Structure 1
Amino acid sequence: MEVHLSGNGEPAISSAHKNPRRVLLVVNPKSRNGAEADIDSGLARLRADGIEVEILHSEGPEETEAVIRQSHKNLDLVIVGGGDGTISSTARVLKECQLALAILPLGTANDLARSLGIVDLEQAFDVIIGNHRQLIDLGVVNGHYFFNVANMGLGVKVTEAQDSEIKKRWGVLSYLRAFFIALRRTQKFRVDLALDEERCQMRSIQLAVGNGRYYGGGNLVAENARINDAKLNLYSLRPRGLLELLGMAFLLRGGKHHLTEGVFNASAQRIEVETKPRVQIHADGEPVAETPATFSVIPRALEVLVPRNSEELLSRKERGQ
């Protein structure tokens, strides 16, 4: 076993010469590519490498959790094939059973895959065979774990405006359609924030708290955010008209929120949010809670298979910026 330094200076585990003996592959057939994706060739590669693969086609987190809990002592790894919501639903049981996670990006946005530096299905199988492991953080909101981002306001309306058939047909472009629909439905709300020891108030139409780096089909929650930096990144979008929002779109897409006066930015390890009126919270694209809410981060919470030397897991200094 080799030991390498991860992006936050901690040792990352690499077992390239000792592949997992038995793995469970959980596939959500309802994810965008879950039913149509050709994973047979990838599975053949795993088996040729000496990996025994058991496959579970599961449409619900309860069934997945029950199978993992029942068989976790005989597993070396769980592979989850699906979108961000499917993968996020396994976070609690994987953490509690101390099982490593590998992913097959079969969803629409695949933002966790982006945060880990995995660009496509073929590379995902390369990563599993390479078996390079690194510890990443988990976000928590009102007791619910999440990998990427939790949204309030506009982001929730975008998710609600999504149509499953259009998502399958348009892919990431479906988020643009949903964005314009959501703009007509979004309402202003007042926010009271406690950021570690600091308190502040503001008006908002969108508030996001990120544990990972990407959300919403490739948007950056913050320019320098990483999923292993032991902190949460928050931004709040102040009420703006359509033309102003469109003018800010490029900066928001690239996580350069700090370059515009229309956005409040902060980072913390613990965040308390109260709103008037109360608003719904979506995490990794799924409804999980409503305000008031408490957010926290669990550093080095889960072992995940990642590409060796993935730039998405390196700090800005390590990337030479």
Structure 2
Amino acid sequence: MAKKCLLIYNPISGNDSISGIELLEMAETRLPNFRVKLWETTGENDEDKILTKYKQFSPDLVLIGGGDGTVKLVAKCLKEVAVPMCVLPLGSANGLAKCMGINDLTDSWESVRDYDIHPIDAIHINNELCLHLADFGINANLVQKFEQEESRGMLGYVKNSLSEIFGTEAMNFRLKIAEESVKIKAKMIVIANGDRYGTGAIVNCKGVMDDGKFEIIAFNPETAEDYVRMTMAFIRGNLDQVEGVQTWVVEECQLDNLEGAEFQIDGEIMEPIESITAKIEKHAFRFLVGKSFTTCHTSPD
């Protein structure tokens, strides 16, 4: 009996150059041993509908065509069923997919062919799920600006970040890890499961998505020289060696937002919040990953 694959497609993702039918035809070609069923999100009661569709069809694999928000939505809905998933990156930036070694559809179909299922951690931030990156400060606005631009890559990042970097004052935060309490002054604090933004900026040099830990990274560039050094470090992937950057590797923490900095999770701006608690869930999901995926080389639990 042929296996079954559910293709969940968001028709209003950032990349509108491909239709659901075209994606279905690609999937049927590349999954000859699967019966593929297409289902499109509508923005109305999608959470309930996704779980209902899963139960009706009982797929062996779920393909997710969309951006980071779509991936997070589907993963959240299917959390308890532990079905293998694969990202078809159709969003504006696709940072989460890139952290999984999937930069484009070619990588997606290669991961389907190789069928390399890997466990992926998740961070629970208050009552929200975080698969990729969350942050306080300048990036909450910066990422939105970047994703609205036609330009991509580091040039777009530099263009949009200049006014944010030099026009934003550092804010005060308090980080609590077990019995330790640290006062931090920063323009941005990142809570990182993945290692990079969709821009290609490598923000978390220690980032491994299956090690049962996450990173807290504080940035406080004060001069143009600081900014240039950090920008080059984003490209090289050695940000942890730059002065003005602090990193903590944790499993659980509390972070107090003492001056009301803006906050985003996986690209979604959140309501104003005074404090968050963050805790890792090791190997929360199962994803097909690309060849460039970074693993901690430990056996799954």
The question of whether the paired residues in 2 share the 8 Å contact of 1:203 and 1:239 is answered with no
Aligned 8 A contact 1:188 1:205 in 2: yes
Counterpart of 1:122 in 2: which secondary structure?
helix
1:266-292: per-residue Cα shift (whole Å, max 9, x none)?
110112111221222211111235331
> Given the alignment of the two structures, is residue 259 of structure 1 paired with residue 238 of structure 2, yes or no?
no
Supply the distance in 2 between the matched residues of 1:36 and 1:176 (Cα, whole angstroms): 29
CA positional deviation for 1:219: 2.0
Report what 1:302 is aligned to: 285
Contact 2:173 2:259 in 1 (8 A): no
Residue ranges of structure 1 left out of the alignment (5+ in a row): 1-17
Equivalent positions of 1:1-321 (< 5 A) are 21-36=3-18, 39=23, 42-47=26-31, 49-60=32-43, 63-73=45-55, 74-162=58-146, 164=148, 166=149, 169-172=150-153, 173-183=155-165, 185-289=167-271, 290-307=273-290, 310-315=291-296
Q: Secondary structure at the match of 2:212?
A: coil
Give the letter aligned to residue 258 of structure 1.
D
Give, in whole Å, the separation in 1 of the partners of 2:35 and 2:217: 44
Secondary structure in 1 matching 2:91: coil
Three-state SS of the structure 2 residue aligned to 1:29 is coil
Q: Percent identity?
A: 24
Deviations 1:109-142 (CA, angstroms, capped at 9, x unpaired) = 2222222222320221232243221111011211
State how far apart, in whole Å, the 1-side matches of 2:294 and 2:242 are.
26
1: distance between equivalents of 2:166 and 2:73? Answer: 30
Aligned length: 292
For 2:91 and 2:295, the matched residues in 1 are separated by: 25
In structure 2, the gaps of 5 or more residues are none
- TM-score scaled by length of structure 2: 0.87
Aligned AA (1:304): F
**What do you get for the CA RMSD once the two structures are aligned?**
2.5
CA distance 1:291–1:138, shift in 2 (3 Å) = same
Given the superposition, is the C-alpha separation of residues 216 and 203 from structure 1 closer, same or farther in structure 2, using an over 3 Å criterion? farther
2-structure distance, mates of 1:216, 1:102:
17
Q: Does the 8 Å CA contact 2:28/2:36 hold for their aligned counterparts? A: no
SS at 2:176's partner residue?
Answer: strand
> TM-score if structure 1 supplies the norm length?
0.82
Distance 1:175 1:53 in 2: 38
